[in-house]
Chain A
Amino acid sequence: MALIEVKNLEKEYVNEAIVTHVLYNLNFKIDKGEFVAIMGPSGSGKSTLMHILGFLDKASGGQFIFNGRDVSTLHDDELAEMRSSQVGFVFQSFNLLPRTTVLENVILPLVYTSTPARKREELATTALNSVGLSHRLNFLPNQLSGGEKQRVAIARALVNDPAVIFADEPTGNLDSKSGLQVMQILQELNADGHTIILVTHEKYTAEHAKRILRIKDGEIISDELVANRQFATGAKELIK
């Protein structure tokens, strides 16, 4: 059984009287352990798709089946539960809580789970360790570089050991070196068995994934495995 199955998925935004049709009749499956890049030009609907797959937004039509469950039947609280237990997000603009320490930022997803308070700090420290930030636990976000912020965001995304990690343009705000570090971490996480869905408009970044789903104007125009996969090795050593 596929982890994610999308059938005839449609999305339209309705703002007052204006209807914006963004996604048209999408069909694909993603299995556990995959590393998929969703690639397309700006405005093509990549983020919209990611938000639906990440339980942040609801489809307007068709089906999204996650682990055998039809997501369209879920209530708000159940969606929150899915976000809490099944997915982790890395956003282009980091989205860390300001004036809140690195450690507390990473603990954040855990406070909405049943993880005991004692265990939370331990898990967060481990996650921060794995992105090479164990020396920054009590820093505030504004004391970090862009690359460090994004690594905090990755630690936060993986701290609750989610089934899928979504990364929306995670390298978009970073220089190439920091971007490579991020990609290396994502590849390592994938190698450890995490399913990763990466949204990008760059071919080079997309080629770090194993499979590329191209969308344009809300429709899938191709879905193929990466022939010449890029490996971001060695970049992570720079941060240690």
Chain B
Amino acid sequence: MDFTPIKLALTALRAQKTRSVLTILGMSIGIAVVITIMAAGKGLDHMVMGQLDAFSPNTVTVEVKIPSTKKTSSDNAMGMATGITITTLKEKDLDTLRKHPNIAAAYGFVTGQAIVKYQNEAKTSLLFGEGYNLQEVEKFEIASGRMFTKDEEESLAQVAVLGSKMYELLFGEENAVGKTVYIKGKPFRVIGVAKSRGAMMGMDMDKMVLLPAKTMQKRVLGIDYYQELIAKVKDRTIIKQTVADLETAVRENHDITDPNKDDFAVNTMEEAATMLSSIINGLTLLLVALVCVSLLVGGVGIMNIMYVSVTERTFEIGLRKALGAKSRDILKQFLAEAIIITVAGGIFGIISGAAFALAIYFIAVSYGYDWAYAVPISSIILAISFSAAVGLIFGLYPAKKAAAFDPMVALRKE
């Protein structure tokens, strides 16, 4: 292989140090911006998606509500803050939900706090009484052991599934499955440990203890009502109708005629989810626009420098031709210059883009966001094809122009 064009290009680039450095800089900034933006987009996406899991758009909830107000249970910490407890949401309502043709699965939910003991360890824990079919409605994964069964819930079995942090607090490294913990003095057999779920709506889901809802009602709290019913719809498109149906049915169950006196509220995550996803779409659009603008600015800058360089270097090109360079030699030299600039800009751009993305990751994590560090392959491919295209288009055009110079005309031009 003949390295002469590369050597010539290097010599020429060195002779125009400032211009070369600026071009490489322009190129790498363009590429770095693309990579940074796309990586940040991925990180943001990861964070928002994590939140969105909590906003399952297929979920319908029936919450207790103080009549004639807008306060639902989740607005006032399950009704406890006001001192008023609504006790009307019962098994019958859950059955009503389950019978609705658009409901895939539903379960009842109660919550409370209690001290959980294992041998010498005692921890105050959030207790979640949930249905055996929790996993049919939402994402809930077991790390070891198993979830409780329908029979266990119906028979008020004293079994518990521990949140991952609660397990660590009580058992450390020890295996928990099969062991007995005491809740309010009553023995509960640990049958499973949940996978980490992180925080959801401000609550650390890993520090809770999960009990069968009915066991919790009867054996722990001594009540017969639920605080919330949670259901999953089959067809999201008719969710509005489903909500209306459920409102009518539950109202009937509760002997209410005036909707203003409702002691419950049927809600969907639809609105929140719609809002979140429109924010995500907006953000994605913004990122795409930013990427386009930075590509455009970078590209125009590089084209400008390359183009000016040919005009400025008329004399050099004329001289080289006068000294025996063929058009092909000039073409090769200018292409080699474009390639060197492109490759150098590409390498610097990718490295600094990845570094910026990492910096953003650390900043986001230090603020406690559930960020992800990912430099998407697509961003590197985009950056590489961008720089290759810029190098080719903005390199080839001036190179062709340069190669076509008549040596005499070029030399005479002062």
Contact = CB atoms under 8 A, between A and B. Distances in A.
Interface of A: 51, 56-57, 76-77, 80-81, 83-85, 89, 91, 95, 97-100, 104, 108-109, 111-113, 117, 156, 160
Contact of A57 (B315, B320, B323, B408): B408
A56 B407 contact: yes
Contact of B327 (A56, A77, A81, A117): A77
B344 interface: no
A89 B407 contact: no
B8 interface: yes
B15 A97 contact: yes
B408 A84 contact: no
B324 interface: yes
Contacts of B322: 56, 83, 89, 95
B270 interface: no
A89 B320 CA distance: 12
Nearest to A160: B324
A80 B324 contact: yes
A76 B327 contact: yes
Contact of A81 (B15, B319, B324): B324
A160 B323 CA distance: 10
Contacts of A51: 408
Interface residues of B, number: 23
B138 interface: no
Contact of A100 (B15, B321, B408, B411): B15
Interface SS of chain B: helix
Contacts of A156: 323
Given A100-B15, A112-B324, 5 more contacts: A77-B327, A83-B321, A95-B315, A111-B7, A117-B4
B188 to A, nearest CB: 83
B323 A108 contact: yes
A98 B15 CA distance: 8
Interface string B1-24: 001100110010001100000000
Interface string B366-391: 00000000000000000000000000
Contact of B316 (A89, A97, A160): A97
B321 A80 contact: yes
B168 interface: no
Interface of B: 3-4, 7-8, 11, 15-16, 315-316, 319-329, 407-408, 411
Contact of B323 (A99, A100, A112, A117): A112
B395 to A, nearest CB: 20
Nearest to A159: B323
Contacts of B329: 112
A121 B329 CA distance: 20
The 8 nearest A-B residue pairs measured at CB? A84-B324, A99-B15, A112-B324, A80-B326, A109-B323, A83-B324, A112-B325, A57-B408
A95 B408 contact: no
Contact of B320 (A76, A99, A108): A108
B326 A77 contact: yes
Contacts of A104: 11
A80 B8 CA distance: 18
A160 B4 CA distance: 17
Contacts of A112: 320, 323-326, 329
Nearest to A86: B324
Contacts of B408: 51, 56-57
Given A57-B408, A80-B321, A83-B323, A111 B15 contact: no
A156 B327 CA distance: 21
A98 to B, nearest CB: 7
Contacts of B7: 111, 117
A51 B324 CA distance: 14
A182 B7 CA distance: 31
B275 to A, nearest CB: 60
A94 B162 CA distance: 88
A120 B324 CA distance: 15
A149 to B, nearest CB: 14
Contact of A111 (B4, B407, B411): B4
Nearest to B320: A108
Contacts of B8: 111
13 contacts: A51-B408, A80-B327, A84-B323, A84-B324, A89-B322, A99-B16, A104-B11, A108-B323, A109-B324, A111-B7, A112-B325, A113-B324, A156-B323
A196 to B, nearest CB: 18
B361 to A, nearest CB: 43
A68 to B, nearest CB: 21
Contacts of A81: 324, 326
A98 B315 CA distance: 10
A70 B11 CA distance: 36
Nearest to B329: A112
A12 B207 CA distance: 95
A89 B318 CA distance: 13
Nearest to B323: A109
Contacts of A98: 15
B406 to A, nearest CB: 8
Nearest to A96: B319
Contacts of B323: 83-84, 89, 108-109, 112, 156
Which of the listed residues B3, B11, B327 has the most CB atoms from chain A within 10 Å of its own CB?
A: B11
A103 to B, nearest CB: 11
A57 B319 CA distance: 14
Nearest to B315: A95
A43 to B, nearest CB: 14
A219 B344 CA distance: 56
Nearest to A57: B408
Contacts of B325: 80, 84, 112
